[in-house]
Amino acid sequence: MKTVLGLTPCLIQRYQFSKIFLSSGDDKTASGSRRKSPNNSPGSGGGGGLPKGLKLSFFCLIISVCLLLVVFGLYIDTTSPFLVQLASKLGYSKNQYAVIIDAGSTGSRVLAYKFDRSFIDNKLVLSDELFKERKPGLSSFADAPEKGAHSIKLLLDEAKAFIPKDKWASTPLVLKATAGLRLLPHSKAENLLNAVRDLFTKSEFSVDLDAVEIMDGTDEGIFSWFTVNFLLGRLSKSNQAAALDLGGGSTQVTFSPTDPEQVPVYEKYMHEVNTLNQKTNVFTHSYLGLGLMAARHAVFTKGSHSEATNLESICVNPIISNRTWLYSNVEYKISGKDHAKSTQENPIVVFEACLDLVKSKVMPLVKPKPFTLKQHTIAAFSYYFERATESGLIDPFEGGEITVEAYRKKAQSVCAIPNDEQPFMCFDLTYISVLLHEGFGLGEGKKIKLYKKIDGHEISWALGCAYNILMSDDKFNS
C-alpha cells in the first residue's frame, strides 16, 4: 500500500482533507444548499454596525461556550453554516480565493473558488465559484503553443473579473493538464507548458514553480473522489461513493474498499488519504487510453495504416460519409461501413459486430480490474453524464440514476436508426456499456448516479485540489 506523504502535482505536501461546510441557512444535510447570498449593503460586512466592544464581547462569549462544551465532552460543529454566517456578519471571517485551470483533452476550464475561513478552527467554507470553459483543449495547440497560451489567457481574464484585484497576490493559480498532454510527445507538451508558464508569471496571482504541469492520474482520481463525496455529504460516512470520471484520453476509477481484507488485493493502487482528521484507504487508477476519444480513435483506426486519415468503421452508420473528426491535432474523415445486414433502404450499425470490436479494444487495457467496485454506490460524471443526456436517458438539468443495462439498450436502439446529427453516438454508448459491464465488472442491473453539478457546484477534481492547496500550504493557511 502507498501512504501518500507527498503530492507534488498540486503544490502541497500531503493529501490533507478536512470538512468543508458550505454556507446556507438550511443545514438539512452535510451538503445542503451551499451558496451564500451576497451581503454587500452598508454596515453589513463590517459587523452590521455593531460597536467594536459589543462585537468583541459577543466573540468572547462564543469562544467561552465552545470551550465549556468541549470541557463537558460535548461536540460542536464550529463550521456550521449558522455560526459561519454570524461570524461573517460580525467581521470575523476572512475571504480566500483559488484559481484552478483544468487543461483537459477536449477543452480547458477555469474554476475559481471563493472560500471563507471558519472563525474558530480555521476550516474553509466554500461560498461561491466561477466555471468557464473553452474548446478545443490545450493539446490541440501542440504546433502553436502561443495560441494555446492565449486560450488560457482568455480563461484567466474570467477569473480576474471574478476575484477582487486586491486579492490576486494572495490567490494561488494552478494549471494541471490531464490525458491530452500525457499523450503528446514530451517536447511538444513542454513547449505548451512553458508558454503557459510565461503567461502565469505576468498574471499578478500567486504562482509557484510547479504551478503548471501535467497532472498525475492518481491525484486526478483522488481529488475527484473527494469532490464528489464532499458535495454529497458522504466524507464522514463509512460508505463513500465511488467516483467514475470518463474523460477524452483517460478514465479514472476511485473508491474506498469497504472490507479491510480487500486492501492488500489492490496493493500498489492503494493510497492513504486524510479526510476529516481520519485516515481512509482509497483505490484509484487512471486508465490511459480508455477515455472516450482515445477509444474512438483505437476502434476507428482498426485495420487501417498508421498514417491513414480517411477511415471507415462498422460502428458508424453507412449514411455517414467523410465526417470530420479532430483527434490529437489530426483531422480525420470518418465514414460508416457497409455490412450484409445493412441495406440502402434500412441502413444500420450491426450492434453485435460493433460490440465485439469494442470489447477487443477495451478488455486488454482494464488492468487492474476493479472487481469490488460493484459493492459501492457509484457517482459518474463527465462523458458518462453528457452522453446520457444527449441520448435522452436522463434530464440534462436534473441528472438522474440509470442502470448499466440502460446504456446498452439505448446503444442498441441508437445503432439501429440512421442519425446524421449524432454520427458517433452509436459507438459512444456501446463503448460506455462495455467499459462498465465487461471492463469494470458491473452487473446489468447496477445503478449509476449521473451528475454534472451537485447543488450548483461543478463536479471536478479542481475543488479538491483548491481546498488542499489552501489548507496545506503554509503560505495560505496561516
**Locus of grid cell 487512471:** 286
Cβ–Cβ < 8 Å for 220, 178: yes
Structural element, H or E, at residue 402? strand 400-403
Of 189, 106, 457, 399, give the one whose Cα is nearest residue 467: 457
The helix or strand, by DSSP H or E, that contains position 295, with its residue range, turns out to be: helix 292-300
Give the span between the Cα atoms of 426 and 346, in whole angstroms: 16
d(CA 293, CA 297): 6
Residue keyed to cell 482533507: 17
Is residue 220 part of the annotated active site? The answer reads yes
**6: buried, middle or exposed (CB in 10 Å: 19+, 13-18, 0-12)?**
exposed
Among the listed residues 133, 158, 190, 220, the single catalytic one is 220
Chain centre to alpha carbon of residue 113? 14
What CA dihedral angle connects 82, 83, 88 and 92, to 10 degrees? 180
Residue-by-residue DSSP string for 113-126: EEEEE-TTT--EEE
* Angle, CA 280 vertex, CA 277 and CA 281 arms, to 5°: 155
Contacts of 67 (CB under 8 A, 6+ apart): none
In sequence order, the 6+-apart residues with CB closer than 8 A to the CB of 127 are 22, 23, 35, 36, 114, 115, 116
Q: Which of 36, 447, 376, 28 is nearest to 225 (CA)?
A: 376
Distance CA 301, CA 309 (A): 9
> Residue ranges for the binding site for ATP?
248-252
Vertex 203 angle, CA 202 and 206, to 5°:
110
Is residue 288 within 8 A of residue 217, CB to CB? The reply is: yes
Q: Which residues contact 86 (CB under 8 A, 6 or more apart)?
A: none
Q: 246 - beta bridge partners? A: 251, 382
Catalytic residue list:
220
